[in-house]
Structure 1
Amino acid sequence: MVMTAENIMGRILLDLPDEAIRRLDHLKQRRNTARAELLREAIEQYLERQTQNVLHEALGLWGEAAEDGLEYERKLREEW
Structure 2
Amino acid sequence: MAVYQWVGTNRKNETRKGEMEAGNERTVRSNLMRLKIIPSKIKKKPKDLFENVSWLQPKVKEKDIILFARQFSTMIDAGLPII
TM, length-normalised to structure 1: 0.23
More RCO (CA 8 Å, sep 6+): 2
More helix by share: 1
TM, length-normalised to structure 2: 0.22
More strand by share: 2
